[in-house]
Amino acid sequence: MNTFFTRISTVLSKLEERYKGPMPKLYVALSALIYSLQNIFVKNTKSFGAFTILFHRSVMIFPFIYFQCYTVKADTYFKDPKVMRTLILRGFFGFFAVGFSYAALHLIKFSEAVPIMQTAPMWTAVFSVLLIGEKLTIDVILNIVLCFSGVLLITLSKSAKEDKSLPTSDSARMLGICCCLLSSLGRASVNVLIRKTGKKVNILSFAFYFYVANAMFSMPCMMYEHWGDHPISDYLYVAGIAIFAYVAQLCYTRGLQLEKAAKVAALAYTQIMWAAILDIVVFHQQVNGFQLAGIFCILGCAIVMIFFNKASD
């Protein structure tokens, strides 16, 4: 097993060295696909609440992560208090983002939830202006307008064919949309923290603290969720969530470490495309005009990011 992980790490390092341009983009695009597939398991896990899923997922995958950290000698403790503080905060905001995203998927449609959660790059730009002191440029303003318009259109839309497994009340739907926005804010905070540490922290160290934080913070939240017997199928779904989320997280983190967030973050928007396809093919849902308009507004953010990055280059 030790040799297996060492060989994978060596192969990936050689590929990153040889293909410096496309590898970060490939990592982020691959993470978007894997995250989308993971969400199928989340939608099908009916008896577990969002934070119960998060707890079980963390417990299942933590021994594996610890073994990997030991194998490749990735640090789990840093003497620099700034690095430790950043890792702990990254773990907390990661828990915040994932917990609310799972809650949203139990309340609203896949193709509604994912576009709203993908407003994270817009919040990242806003945080950079407010907290780091970056200039409020025209691309940031366009992203804010497009994201706000997209969320508003999706909020106003009504499904042509309702998913009978989801709550039908307007209040439940609005709660789901709020969970999406909170998840987006958490993801934006994670983006800023990953870029702050750069390449000096191993991606396995990020994962180690992320899963420790997930287990710690999800335990008290579980107390307010359903307790009782759960079918074996739901435990298998949670195992699938753990594996897919773990691989996707490593890909996404590595992509952000190797390249500026602004240059690769646009590829994360491909999750919106996958969400619409999976909602139609897997969940047999229909996407109406308002939803499509909202989706295209948020996808417009990716076009803005690509256009201005090329202009700056």
Confidence grade of residue 253 (pLDDT, cut at 50, 70, 90)? confident
Greater model confidence, 74 or 312: 74
Is residue 292 scored above 60 in pLDDT?
yes
Size (the chain), residues: 313
- Virtual CA dihedral for 182, 186, 191, 194, nearest 10 degrees? 180
- pLDDT tens string 142-158: 878 888 888 888 877 76
Q: Maximum distance among all alpha carbons in the chain? A: 57
**Cβ of 217: how many Cβ atoms within 10 Å?**
19
In what helix (H) or strand (E) does residue 264 lie, and over which residues does it extend? helix 261-264
- Assign 3-class secondary structure to 94-124: HHHHHHHHHHHHCCCCHHHHHHHHCCHHHHH
The predicted structure's pLDDT at residue 199: 66
The predicted structure's pLDDT at residue 182: 94
The predicted structure's pLDDT at residue 237: 93
Query: In Å, how far are 24, 263, 270, 307 from 302, measured between CA atoms?
Result: 16, 10, 9, 9
Exposure b/e, 158-175, CB count within 10 A at least 16 = b:
ebeeebeebeeeeeebeb
**If you ran DSSP here, which 8-state letter would residue 205 be given?**
H
The predicted structure's pLDDT at residue 21: 78
Is residue 161 scored above 60 in pLDDT?
no
- pLDDT tens string 47-105: 888 999 999 999 999 988 888 888 878 888 888 888 888 888 989 999 999 999 999 99
Q: Which of 3-17, 46-60, 243-257, 270-284 has the lowest mean pLDDT?
A: 3-17
Q: Exposure of 110 by Cβ count < 10 A (0-12 exposed, 13-18 middle, 19+ buried)?
A: buried
Distance CA 264, CA 31 (A): 12
Contact 107, 273 (CB under 8 A): no
Distance CA 170, CA 52 (A): 25
By three-state DSSP, how is residue 63 classified?
Answer: helix
Among left, alpha and beta (phi > 0; psi -120 to 50; other), residue 73 is left
Greater model confidence, 22 or 262: 22
Confidence grade of residue 5 (pLDDT, cut at 50, 70, 90)? low
Report the number of secondary-structure helices (H) and strands (E) in the chain: 13, 0
The predicted structure's pLDDT at residue 165: 59
